């Protein structure tokens, strides 16, 4: 198979030097990419450049690939959106595994208070670096587009689509229910779901029949690839 995998985290800028991001490093996506390449699949890996995880794991001297991994970098939400659209529209993939932790919000505006107790908020200058002399800053965040929901339409992908879903502080039963609805909303064939509290231990793989298969993390890459056929 020819497989596109996204992994890592995206950033949304506050100004020229500050960003909002998340805690995820993309290890799961990299391990899926390594496993797929070792099984003989052709792999394109989109990975966030700010983390050294991809380089570290892909350069492991004990790992050799029958097909080399094409590694492409992204940093921001917009970078990832652009690279995904370019790859999906320009190349025929049999499967897409979208495991990247994509930013849910971006900065729409920033209000700055100059003096203590000042209720007036002036628009902060973000073209360069916001000055550090403000008493407070108020960031207005607005939702980003759901990139996974663009993979089918308008980008036109017709192969197997795998979506990832992470929740925090809920039961396994609630997670599975949310994941099933999320898979259908994105027209994904498979969704991989887990909770932050036990994400390093196991995950659920859920297909079109909504049956949840619990898989220990070490077996997730091979089990997922087997499910893809």
Tokens of 120: 């007036």
Residues 207 and 165 in one domain: yes
* Rounded Cα gap, residues 36 and 56, in angstroms: 17
Which of 91, 121, 140 is the C-terminal boundary of a domain?
140
Bridge partner residues of 43 (DSSP): 3, 69
Residues 69 and 122 in one domain: no
Q: Contact at 8 Å (CB) between 100 and 7?
A: yes
Residues 61 and 157 in one domain: yes
Question: pLDDT tens digit string along 3-41?
Answer: 999 999 999 999 888 999 998 888 899 999 999 999 999
The domain tally of the chain equals 2
Question: pLDDT tens digit string along 99-112?
Answer: 999 999 999 988 87
* Rounded Cα gap, residues 6 and 59, in angstroms: 18
Give pTM, 2 decimals: 0.88
Question: pLDDT tens digit string along 59-73?
Answer: 553 454 556 788 899
Q: Which residue range is the domain that position 20 belongs to? A: 2-104+144-228
pLDDT computed for residue 67 by the predictor = 67
């Amino acid at each position: 198979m020819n497989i596109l995998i996204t992994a890592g985290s995206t950033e949304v800028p506050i100004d020229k030097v500050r960003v909002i991001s998340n805690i995820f490093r993309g290890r799961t996506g990299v391990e899926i990419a390594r496993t797929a390449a070792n099984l003989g699949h052709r792999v394109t890996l989109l990975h966030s450049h700010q983390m050294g995880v991809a380089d570290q794991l892909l350069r492991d001297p004990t790992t050799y690939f029958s097909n080399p991994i094409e590694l492409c970098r992204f940093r921001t939400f917009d970078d990832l959106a652009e690279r995904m659209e370019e790859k999906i529209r320009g190349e025929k993939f049999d499967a897409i595994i979208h495991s990247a932790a994509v930013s849910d919000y971006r900065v729409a505006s920033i209000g700055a208070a100059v003096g203590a107790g000042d209720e007036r908020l002036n628009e902060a200058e973000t073209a360069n670096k916001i000055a550090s002399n403000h008493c407070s800053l108020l960031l207005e965040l607005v939702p980003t587009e759901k990139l996974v929901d663009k993979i089918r339409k308008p980008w036109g992908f017709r192969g197997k689509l795998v979506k990832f879903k992470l929740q925090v502080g809920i039961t396994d039963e609630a997670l599975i229910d949310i994941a099933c609805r999320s898979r259908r909303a994105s027209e994904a064939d498979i969704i991989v779901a887990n909770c932050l509290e036990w994400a390093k231990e196991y995950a659920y793989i859920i297909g079109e029949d909504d049956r949840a298969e619990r898989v220990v993390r070490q077996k997730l890459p091979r089990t997922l690839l087997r499910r893809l056929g």
